[in-house]
Amino acid sequence: MLGICNGFQILVESGLLPGALRTNEYPKFCCRWVNLRVEKTDTAFTSKFRKGEIVRMPIAHKEGNFFADDATLRGMNSNREIAFRYVDSDGDAVPDSNPNGSVANTAGVVNTSGTVLGMMPHPERASEAVLGSDDGLRIFESMVEYADASRDISVSTPKSMVKVSPGLKLLFSHTPNYQNQSASYH
């Protein structure tokens, strides 16, 4: 599951990712290109990157200041849940490279299994070199590679199960009355 910008806010507010997103430290809308350092590469979203690699993507937000209390941040660091950090062109996470005041220069967060990513930068706006960068494209290529390797992904909740199989066939099981209902999408 990928949450970009407001999608990241939803993932945090729903409890799927730790922390909170607040108004930027400098309370105005931020729209510019930033440098990010890749912190974690063993996820469904970052396998096409190298750890420590510096990439460029744009941001566009007013409420992108990631916050976590000290105990949560220690846990996130211990569990390697920070996927991207704001950095300068040398790869240093310094205050001047942090566009919104995010704690520990945090730009992107994953869950412990690496299957949920929330990030404020916009990889979809960095998918063509002619537009300034194609670094964001590798997030989507990583997702495709992960899906191809998985071939059969199941997501379960307490009351339902959705199974995604090759060919984008979705199988739904909600209650005994609806078992074995399926829908195919082309």
Residues identified as active-site: 5, 122, 124
Residues 6+ apart with CB under 8 A from 160: 172, 173, 174
Nearest to 81 by CA among 43, 117, 112: 112
- Spatial contact of 130 and 99, defined as CB atoms under 8 Å apart: no
Tokens coding 151: 């071939």
Distance CA 59, CA 31 (A): 5
| DSSP code, position 145 | H
- Residue 97 DSSP code: G
Determine whether 98 is exposed, middle or buried from the number of CB atoms within 10 Å of its CB (0-12, 13-18, 19+): buried
